[in-house]
Structure 1
Amino acid sequence: MRQTTFDPDVLRGFVLGIELGSFAKAAARLNRSTSAVSAQLKRLEEQVGTPLVHRVGRGMVMTEQGEVMLSYARRLLDLNDEAAAAVCGEQLEGRVRLGLQEDFGERLLPGVLGRFARAHPKLHIEVRVASNMRLKEDVSLGKLDLALVWKAASESLSAETLASVPMKWIGSVSFQPLQALDDPLPLVVLEAPCMLRQMAIDALDRAGIAWRIAFSSASLGATWAAITAELGIGIRTPLCLPAQVRALNAQEAGLPELPGLELSLYHAETAPSLAVTRLGQIIRQHVAELVPAQC
């Protein structure tokens, strides 16, 4: 049986094309022609013996084999890049300051920091977990190099949108659809100011649904506990939910639909250091894997 060996450059073009939603955009990012990247995709499909993407109008959809290939391609590229950094003498030193919301602490942090630390053992990473507003403020003041947060509709800070994520009402796993509400809807929320809290309240007001704050805390973990105890319903995205709560179907629950959010990467500098750039690349890859799996 002939052994198949995948070219990392071909895999990189394939992964980037999927993540950007366009192989033309991938070609521009890689400083190559669109025809060259398309030829690489064709070569990869010939190697695996099956189509990896289907064209749908101006867009594209991965086949089942394409989804499998994407998962393996990312892992192969991760190992390739780590090996190159470890063996080829690229020793970054200093520190990188990263800000994350509490949502991503358990799911995103281990993968991002583990991979970054293996590739750059001499580089120190400082992580701050805080509220959306506080993280943006720290980026603007230069106290953080990067921050992964939710983007508001109008902002002056420079941000790179990584994914569009739906906002959902959150209930306990045993939550039952609401009947006619005689009493105000009990809400479990983070302390104000909180962008998601305000968006939910605005949606309820527009729908003419009375509400009350049943539980408020500065800790996301405490709000999960309150929702689990059925003190009320919460507001969050489907990303990184604990096992004891679930995203609700708004229509079935008798609640208004909620708008989506943009998950964005904020940069303190327009010309970041190589270390900051590398950490940003790892975050993009992990978000690209996380969002489709949970939304």
Structure 2
Amino acid sequence: MSQRGFDLTQLRTFVAVAESGSVSAGAERVFLSQSSVSEQLKKLEERAGQPLFVRSKQGVTATPAGSRLLDHARRIIAMSEAAFEDLQGRSLDGELRIAITDYYRPLDIARILKTFSEQHPRLKLHVTVQPSAVIDSSAGDDASYDIGLSLRLVTASTRSSNRRGGAQSTVVRREKLLWVCAADASPRPATPYSLVLLPSSCQLQRFVVKLLDEHKVPYLVSHSASGVAGLQLALKAGLGISCLNESSIGGGLVACPPSVGLPALPAVEFHLLPGRVGESERVSNARTALMHLFS
């Protein structure tokens, strides 16, 4: 009788490449050489009996069959990991409160949390989206959440802010910060820029205003949004420019060209805040599991 089903290692590699958008980036995620990854993908496509990727100079894109398999692969991997954790006595149950900045991978966060839920089906999640300043400031013993993920600028004045209450936060992701505008509306240099901003409670937006003032760049605030989703909509509508981290740009938006003359921006980091004194084993294990998914 011929073997049915897929190889789990090949599925992990397939998911890594699909999510990264290229074989080289996927290889880094699974700690394999590009040739090994290419060989695994070849065997997986032979097993599937059809192409799973369209390859180009820009990277790889899933075919319709590849997209269908990607959904299955994520669930299969999640179930495998859930079974392993259960047999090791590390299965999570109860309730878990998570606070996340809305700058963090808005196009992927729902899938990430779904994967986490599938890995730990007995765990009930309570997720809130909050400004990073609020998440950082309430990271004490009386915090309204168990696990917090916040955004921080990487500048000389903020490098020392990685510590909260004497404990070290964990950097799970670093991204470029870019000036962004609508794909069909590039701004012109040497004119007052129309600026789309979030409220002043957002540290990133305060930084942008200060940066433009320091460089004497003329601007006017054309729109104020309440969150990243609203900011994206205003930008797509051509209401102005703003700055976003790479994973927040999304369709219909592009990075402004250097010729526009806007000042350079620093990188940003996403920090998984440290545990509190006396934290339960359940929360500590959940933080470790989320650390891998957030990276």
Structures share a fold, TM > 0.5? yes
Structure 1 stretch 266-275 or stretch 141-150: which is displaced more? 266-275
Matches within 5 A, 1:42-191: 63-65=33-35, 78=78, 80-86=80-86, 90-104=90-104, 106-140=106-140, 141-151=142-152, 153=158, 154-155=160-161, 156-157=163-164, 158=167, 159-181=169-191, 184-191=192-199
Distance 1:90 1:203, change over 3 A: closer
1:287 and 2:294 correspond:
yes
| Amino acid across the alignment from 2:190 | A
1:274 and 2:281 correspond:
yes
Distance 1:88 1:98, change over 3 A: same
Distance 1:278 1:67, change over 3 A: farther
Distance 1:111 1:146, change over 3 A: same
Contact 2:179 2:256 in 1 (8 A): yes
1:227 and 2:228 correspond:
no
Counterparts of 1:70 and 1:211 in 2: how far apart (Å)? Answer: 52
Counterparts of 1:123 and 1:192 in 2: how far apart (Å)? Answer: 35
Q: Which runs of 5+ in 2 are unaligned?
A: 1-5, 17-26, 45-72
Determine which of 202, 205, 212 is the counterpart of 2:213: 205
Give the equivalent residue in structure 1 for 2:261: 254
Structure 1 ranges of 4+ moved more than 6 A: 5-8, 69-72, 74-77
Q: Structure 1 residue 190: deviation in Å? A: 0.4
Identity of aligned residues (%): 19
Q: Which runs of 5+ in 1 are unaligned?
A: 16-51, 54-60, 289-295
SS of residue paired to 2:201: coil
Contact 2:187 2:193 in 1 (8 A): no
Distance 1:67 1:271, change over 3 A: farther
Counterparts of 1:131 and 1:69 in 2: how far apart (Å)? Answer: 44
SS of residue paired to 1:239: helix
Distance 1:217 1:265, change over 3 A: same
Distance 1:271 1:97, change over 3 A: same
SS of residue paired to 2:139: helix
| Amino acid across the alignment from 1:149 | S
| TM-score, length basis structure 2 | 0.66
Counterparts of 2:285 and 2:78 in 1: how far apart (Å)? Answer: 12
| Amino acid across the alignment from 1:229 | A
Counterparts of 1:151 and 1:62 in 2: how far apart (Å)? Answer: 31
Counterparts of 1:257 and 1:286 in 2: how far apart (Å)? Answer: 30
RMSD (Å), alpha carbons: 3.7
| TM-score, length basis structure 1 | 0.66
Counterparts of 1:92 and 1:282 in 2: how far apart (Å)? Answer: 10
Counterparts of 1:243 and 1:67 in 2: how far apart (Å)? Answer: 28
SS of residue paired to 1:218: coil
Distance 1:105 1:99, change over 3 A: farther
Determine which of 253, 265, 276 is the counterpart of 2:272: 265
Counterparts of 1:105 and 1:226 in 2: how far apart (Å)? Answer: 18
Counterparts of 1:87 and 1:108 in 2: how far apart (Å)? Answer: 29
Give the equivalent residue in structure 1 for 2:20: none
State the number of aligned residues. 236
| Amino acid across the alignment from 2:200 | A
Counterparts of 1:278 and 1:135 in 2: how far apart (Å)? Answer: 20
Counterparts of 2:114 and 2:225 in 1: how far apart (Å)? Answer: 30
Q: Structure 1 residue 70: deviation in Å? A: 10
| Amino acid across the alignment from 2:253 | V
Distance 1:240 1:217, change over 3 A: closer
Counterparts of 1:88 and 1:211 in 2: how far apart (Å)? Answer: 58
